[in-house]
Chains A and B, each alone.
Chain A
């Protein structure tokens, strides 16, 4: 049986978080609009005579993303009209970039398909365009809300370089992280600010032909992207195996049924009749303008991961997790700078109990409610053995609930750990005196009873005794009895 290789190319449509729309002054924040058709004007509803004006902020954001994706930023780029009729497209054409996009020929490294190392994914282009309106169906009526019409979109297109669905997912995840790092997109896929389109084909392993591909449009989550791509790979393999041929077509993804469905075959494919947009002169970006953005480019997830490995000695998985979100990475470094304990301990906190609290409370790492100084203080309390590890965890829960500083919580609730040796020693001596049977049994060789003795102390102190100190005291006393 022929073994097949997956060939995937990805298109990512990312809305840019500018204040105004791509070609007019209307607010681009359609999600906060008070009602349908309130963020609109003659330009974005395509009234006769209205003309587009390029949003400079969208251009700047596109330059930043292009740089982050290792693209060439083109000093001379042009807009074009992409012509088709659809109710969500008020002008009857979309203003996009066709022949000369703002960014081209970039790349990104993703983990290699097998084993170690990385694979380089070529990015063909990134271009600016405008989003469409939203259509709704009520009974036999179609309703249109133009609040989203004209919101800036950046379309990022790769070459068909992915050989696994996992590689495509890794790339998409990383692009989302980069967009969030640059502050140009919230990455909030439930709101539709990031949409994927996968071009999928399969071919016998060893072949380098590009076979007929299908395009799966409007994938709105990582889950949809991976499921739809995997389904399509399987479908195509089965088709070839049964002697069939793949038809070039546009597919949709039926999330509920878990299948791709045909939307348009090649014969009915649009001829978009692209031509240069005469209402917009070519966009000329001075070299100095482009270069001024290089300085603005923040440290990106990949570089940050490497630095965390190098500077803090974290494990790759942990470093990558912390670096995946700029706010989390910044938080990690702020806490590390303020605590007596090590970066690794801070990392354990953040990737463990802290992240659980964030997730359980449906909070975002963009708005962590605990000041870094407070978490550093909590880690110090544990480091100083003022509280035990378990107590520290419950203090953290209390910090999330009340927002109070850990020291205040520990003091108010008397949670301080008993590490005063005098007090503990008294308790241990009394415990041994009160339980002669268990002591004899322990000395007779049943050493597991040590846990029982420790448990008794813990119960008596309500968990505030430093377990290491208690253990040592018990061992010391037993040693004395043996003599």
Chain B
């Protein structure tokens, strides 16, 4: 068994045909993590006991063929911002270094019910704040394609793990590109679903009105299968949608002939790395060859996407992070504190990293009396315009195509000194979150040896179309089959 190239779908077939047991597969994955991960550091916590126990139970299900789902027995890892009962959940922050949740996120419950096997928790930028995984309070994760480069962020550990075959899929989380941007950097397929498609209950919130949990894996089929398992209404998340979940894997294989693909002209301007631009253009030609109609469309408010995204994120994050106060869970710095408020101050000063503090302060500022109208409220108004841009574009086309990042993976340490430049690496992926639309990242080539990703954006709750187009592309290309040069 060649673990490094194994896909979820092929593992499914091996499990069902009893070529391998889930315990064997899980043990092999754990061994591979032990061997490979020290170079990459995708995992913050490896849950060997949980994994082997879940694998044993999956094997029982597989043996009786009862209650077997497409994910039964499949090992995966999850970004460390999803609450896992009894398993340390850190958000890669010092403030949660020893935090063990009492309950599971809904997505974790759903995966456990489906029989999937949790290998561990993935490193990330602290609380999702970052685009390189360098803002982890523990260690930076390295890009499996070049260990001197970043895997992207904030779901960097999840992307690197999926790319390096340290799990057959990853559960990431995308607040403003955090699944798609690292998927592009690491050559994996990843979905940011429609806001409300997947329950956020138990997800440690960054920006509550943007956060979208989504899978990352080797190919579209795998991502579609996982999305099917984790999507759906959750009574505990009032923002989750009541719309029924389609059987995504069933719609794969349909022809894309005659479908319309839009190229947002505002996305193809100066600043894009030449290799990235040419890879995207080749992908567009490929879609044309598949029979799709290509149209140029306009998203006129694109230039406001990044500021709108950051303003709203800062505001929501500043409130979401208020509960980390050292009284009920996590780090609590009590020595020398004069009173309870002093415990708050000391805990937060010691527990949060610089980027987190920066964003909390910016958020509190933009919500303050006298500034609210100029910043937060205005951003919400422009957010409506961004959403309308997309709605108007989708009157003309079925999907939009754009790069996931203007460049390929940059060097570790290259952008850490300048937060603003780091923010700019998210320029293509941030606007989708304020708009709430789904977007699928698909590998589409290489630039100077590093992977290039494209994203396909679609209408609200129309993940099916994106899967259909992405799958059609992967039937005629093999970029997604390229593997990083690991031992």
Contact = CB atoms under 8 A, between A and B. Distances in A.
A39 to B, nearest CB: 15
Contact of B322 (A50, A93, A271): A93
A90 interface: yes
Interface in B282-321: 315-316, 318-319, 321
Contact of A53 (B89, B238, B316): B238
A113 B329 CA distance: 54
B204 interface: yes
A437 B468 CA distance: 123
A275 B367 contact: yes
A288 B327 CA distance: 45
Nearest to B345: A85
B235 A85 contact: no
Given A47-B103, A47-B329, A54-B238, A93 B203 contact: no
Contacts of A45: 328
A48 B322 contact: no
A403 interface: no
For the complex, would chain A's binding face be called helix, strand, loop or mixed by DSSP majority? Answer: loop
A415 to B, nearest CB: 64
Nearest to B209: A278
Contacts of A51: 200-201, 236-238
Name the residue among A42, A45, A144 with the largest chain B CB count within 10 angstroms. A42
A83 B103 contact: no
Interface in A203-234: none
B239 to A, nearest CB: 6
Nearest to A92: B322
B139 interface: no
A42 B102 contact: yes
B101 interface: yes
B367 to A, nearest CB: 4
Interface residues of A, number: 29
A451 B364 CA distance: 86
A91 interface: yes
A36 interface: no
Given A85-B341, A278-B208, A280-B238, A50 B202 contact: yes
Interface residues of B, number: 46
A273 B364 contact: yes
For the complex, would chain B's binding face be called helix, strand, loop or mixed by DSSP majority? Answer: loop
B332 to A, nearest CB: 13
B372 interface: yes
Name the residue among A49, A87, A144, A281 with the largest chain B CB count within 10 angstroms. A49
A142 B83 CA distance: 28
B325 A85 contact: yes
Contacts of A274: 367
A273 B101 contact: no
A42 B203 CA distance: 12
A51 B204 CA distance: 10
Contacts of A87: 327, 340-341
Contacts of A473: none
Contact of B203 (A49, A53, A91): A49
Given A83-B367, A92-B322, A52 B238 contact: yes
Contacts of A85: 322, 325, 341, 344
Nearest to B82: A49
B323 interface: yes
Interface in A391-422: none
Interface string B72-96: 0000000000110000010100001
Interface string A225-250: 00000000000000000000000000
A271 B328 contact: no
Contacts of A279: 205, 208, 238-239
A81 interface: yes
A366 B416 CA distance: 68
B369 interface: yes
Given A48-B329, A49-B203, A91 B322 contact: yes
Contacts of B99: 48
B352 interface: no
Contact of B323 (A46, A52, A53, A271): A46
A142 B102 CA distance: 24
Contacts of A50: 103, 201-202
A113 B157 CA distance: 71
Contact of A278 (B316, B322, B344): B316
Contact of A49 (B201, B209, B238): B201
A42 B201 CA distance: 11
A283 to B, nearest CB: 10
Name the residue among B204, B322, B364, B372 with the largest chain A CB count within 10 angstroms. B322
Interface in B340-373: 340-341, 344, 364, 367-369, 372
B428 interface: no
Given A47-B103, A48-B96, A51-B201, A83 B325 contact: no
A48 B89 contact: yes
Contacts of B239: 278-281
Interface in A10-67: 42, 45-54
Name the residue among A45, A92, A278 with the largest chain B CB count within 10 angstroms. A278
Contacts of A48: 83, 89, 91, 96, 99, 101, 204-205, 323-324, 329
A49 B323 CA distance: 10
Name the residue among B83, B105, B236, B344 with the largest chain A CB count within 10 angstroms. B236
Contacts of A53: 235-236, 238
A46 B83 CA distance: 13
Contacts of B325: 85, 92
A83 B316 CA distance: 11
Name the residue among A45, A275, A281 with the largest chain B CB count within 10 angstroms. A275
Nearest to A85: B344
Interface in A87-101: 87, 90-93
Contacts of B372: 273, 275
Contacts of B105: 49
A81 B322 CA distance: 11
Contacts of A278: 207-209, 239, 316
A398 to B, nearest CB: 56
Given A49-B201, A51-B237, A90-B328, A271 B369 contact: yes
Interface string B226-245: 00000000011111000000
B221 interface: no
Contacts of B169: none
Contacts of B235: 53
B43 interface: no
Contacts of B473: none
Nearest to B340: A87
Nearest to A24: B236
Contacts of A142: 339-340
B376 interface: yes
Contacts of B101: 42, 47-49
Given A48-B99, A49-B101, A83-B367, A93 B319 contact: yes
Interface of A: 42, 45-54, 81, 83, 85, 87, 90-93, 142, 144, 271, 273-275, 278-281
26 contacts: A46-B328, A47-B328, A48-B91, A48-B96, A48-B324, A49-B83, A49-B105, A49-B205, A50-B201, A51-B201, A51-B238, A53-B238, A81-B319, A83-B318, A87-B327, A90-B323, A90-B328, A92-B319, A92-B321, A142-B339, A142-B340, A273-B319, A275-B372, A278-B316, A280-B238, A281-B238
Interface of B: 82-83, 89, 91, 96, 99, 101-103, 105, 200-205, 207-209, 235-239, 315-316, 318-319, 321-325, 327-329, 339-341, 344, 364, 367-369, 372, 376
Given A48-B91, A275-B372, 12 more contacts: A42-B101, A47-B83, A49-B101, A49-B105, A50-B202, A51-B237, A85-B341, A85-B344, A92-B322, A93-B322, A278-B207, A279-B239
* 4 closest cross-chain pairs (CB), A and B: A92-B322, A278-B208, A273-B367, A278-B209
